[in-house]
Amino acid sequence: MPHPAATEHPDTYEHNGYEIHTVVTPGDCRICHVQEAEQYSRNIMAHAYKNLAENKVYNDLENTILGGLERKNGRIAIQPATPPPGPRPAITAMGLS
Ligand code: HEC
């Protein structure tokens, strides 16, 4: 039976009969630490990824550094950063996928 948290990890792979999670999330800890995971989901730090991903100023900063700049009609337009290969993690209330 797959590990319950495996559905949260598009990067999980099988190794010698075990599911390896490249990135460990609070969802992994929730399996045994249900109460702590619930408490953490209410902590502002649990929402850091979502807060940044949806922050326009942060997005512009990220794109300015990682994206390209283009002149359009005498103005500078910021091109979006090229996303890394592979699926981008989905966002939930816990900052998990
Ligand atoms: C398979 C079950 C299991 C999973 C998954 C698990 N834990 Fe634990 N964890 C335990 C058990 C059992 C203890 C208590 C061990 C003891 O007291 O001897 C513990 C203890 C702890 C403690 C010490 C608590 C204290 O009061 O000293 C911390 C911190 C902790 N876990 C964090 C985590 C984190 C972070 C994760 C996820 C990355 C995680 N655990 C995943 C079972 C698990």
Per-residue tokens: 48: 């850091």
Which residues approach ligand 1 with their CB closer than 6 A?
Answer: 24, 28-29, 31-33
In this structure, which residue's CA is closest to atom 5 in ligand 1?
29
pTM higher than 0.95 for the full model?
no
For residue range 31-70, what is the model confidence (pLDDT) as tens digits?
899 999 999 999 988 888 888 888 989 888 888 888 877 8
List, as one string, the DSSP characters of 32-54. T-HHHHHHHHTSGGGGHHHHHHT
Pocket of ligand 1, candidates 21, 22, 28, 29: which has the most ligand atoms within 8 Å of its Cβ, to mutate? 29
